[in-house]
A and B are shown apart, each in its own frame.
Chain A
Amino acid sequence: MSQRHRLRSLFTLVLVNGVIPIRTQPLYLVNLLASPLSFLFFIYVISHGALLAFGITGGLVLTMLTAGTGLQSDLTHYRHDMKFQDVVVASPVEAPVYVVGMAFSELVYSLPAIAVFVFLFVAKGYASLDSALVVGGVLILVWGFATALAFTLATYFEDVRETFMFSPLISLILTVLPPVYYPLAYLPRWAQIVARFSPTTYAAALVQCSVGIAPSACGASVLDWGVLGAVTAALFLVAAFKARWKDA
């Protein structure tokens, strides 16, 4: 397959799984906006506005993470209920093109949420060249590792119902327990150690540091980038070698 054909396949997959379903059911767009906005609302109300900045940066991280992990239910559904993966496997479309195309299509659903949080981010005066680069880089890595994780899991799930069980667990491990919506320093010592096992802790630290809302998070930026990059690379390798494109 030439690069031109690959691009055509990729854009077609974005159209098929991202654009066309929204035409049929526009509520998809609101769906992915609901969770991060709910968190933002609660944080704003409970902290009397003091932690609004954490709600905005946390919302950005959660949106990108959800755009990645949301892929698992679509891929599992298409694989088992539609046999769509089998149709694609027996065609010139290569696995990476399929995954990237489907990942971008999930991003289409998240566009309203991204737009809202970027607007709030800019409106609150956090946008500078430095912070935009850091936040952009972190969000790409978060989306990347979440996508790789979702694809790998989706090739092992035997039924879409299994994704309903895993999604809240993944959400708990990657967004609720780690300090995405608050500074790491708010946690007791033992919980800070536990939180260090989640890659989103490092993502949140980088974002919170870059916009100047958690100076305590700025001590180990190199380590944060290193861990986030390493986790992303590791999950890509797992996806490349362990995901089941062709059945055993």
Chain B
Amino acid sequence: MSAAIVAKGLGKVYPGSRSALPALADLSLEVPSGGVYGLIGRNGAGKTTFVRIAATQLNPTSGELRVLGYDVEGEERAIRARIACVPQESRPLYFLRVEEVIYTYLKMRGLPPTDARRRTHDVLEELSLTEYRRRLVSRLSGGLRRRTICAMVLASDADVLFLDEPTTGLDPLARREVWEAIRRASRENRTILLTTHYLDEAEALSRRLALVERGRLMLEGSPADLRGRVRYPYRVTVQGRLGRADLEPYGKVSDIEGGYLVFTGESEARELARRALEVGAHLTIGPVSLEDIFLDVVGRSIEEETSPSTESAEGEEAGA
């Protein structure tokens, strides 16, 4: 499988940054052609910086990044002809109607009017936006605006799509419609680089995932690979009868509401299940989630904010 995006030793320090930490530090990554590649990490981890460099919106400080074989420094024109991007926190122009957002974007990219019209019609159907097609963006809810800007990019003819937190602010139903459109686009042999901090979304859509923390690549592989690489592949919740001291021999124990969460191995999970049944404790058992893997690798939840030093790098990112 050839790679659509290849990063080698990529580094980024924002000009004038007072942060001790670079936004990206020696990050090497290969995004295979076709399918969805998920980039996950907390706010300020460096996801947006990576996407902006790959989408030729931002210069790297060091290292190399190639998109479809072209260097982001010097061969931007060849890359830009083949990419499309939903930037983080982007919004469609408020005075356009929904269908105009998509149609004019496609025409701006150079598509002939008939092709642009057909693609606009199709994507409106696909993302359940047809009933809103004549509505002004200024009169849409935040979720519908986000869906409109996703539709705009998904309707394009680009080979590589960059979707930077595309479903933020969408309700669960709308998120799933966007997921379906992303899946369909990926089946057209397009490469989609998706950043998100919804781990269920990353897991549901991505063929492969990269976990980034403080500008560094922590873990990379398919969701199954990632599960195989953590110390404890099973999660067991225990409520009642068994205390922390009883559970610690089985693995890593954390407090949860009304009981304990134990990360453990397969044989230990079986033994713990037997013990819980004997004493009459309530127990659930299953493979670790992506959230658990994240917690294990990073040591903090994806919802937790980054340290102040990293945050300042992210803050500078917006204004750089």
Contact = CB atoms under 8 A, between A and B. Distances in A.
Interface in B24-70: 52, 55-59
A83 B104 contact: no
B319 A89 contact: no
Given A81-B91, A247-B52, A247-B59, A92 B104 contact: no
Contacts of A89: 55-57, 80
Interface stretch (B92-100, B205-213, B242-250): B92-100
A1 B162 CA distance: 21
Which interface class (under 10, 10 to 19, 20 to 34, 35 or more) fits A?
A: 20 to 34
Interface string B58-88: 1100000000000000001100110111111
Interface stretch (A17-25, A125-133, A170-178, A228-236): A17-25
Nearest to B61: A248
Interface string B285-302: 000000000000000000
Nearest to B73: A246
Interface stretch (B105-113, B171-179, B184-192, B304-312): B105-113
A87 B91 CA distance: 10
A24 B139 CA distance: 12
B72 to A, nearest CB: 9
Given A83-B87, A83-B90, A91 B57 contact: no
Contacts of B320: 247-248
A235 to B, nearest CB: 24
A86 B90 contact: yes
Interface stretch (A7-15, A50-58, A179-187, A188-196): A7-15
B136 interface: yes
Interface string A61-103: 0000000000000000010011110111111111000000000
B271 interface: no
Contact of B108 (A16, A82, A158, A246): A16
A15 B15 contact: no
Contacts of A158: 319
30 contacts: A8-B108, A8-B110, A9-B108, A12-B108, A15-B104, A20-B96, A21-B95, A81-B91, A82-B90, A82-B91, A82-B92, A82-B93, A83-B87, A83-B88, A83-B89, A83-B91, A87-B86, A87-B90, A87-B105, A90-B80, A90-B83, A90-B85, A90-B162, A91-B84, A91-B85, A92-B81, A246-B76, A247-B57, A248-B58, A248-B320
Given A91-B109, A94-B77, A247-B59, 5 more contacts: A8-B110, A9-B109, A12-B108, A82-B93, A84-B93
Interface of A: 1-2, 5-6, 8-9, 12-13, 15-16, 20-21, 24-25, 78, 81-84, 86-94, 158, 246-248
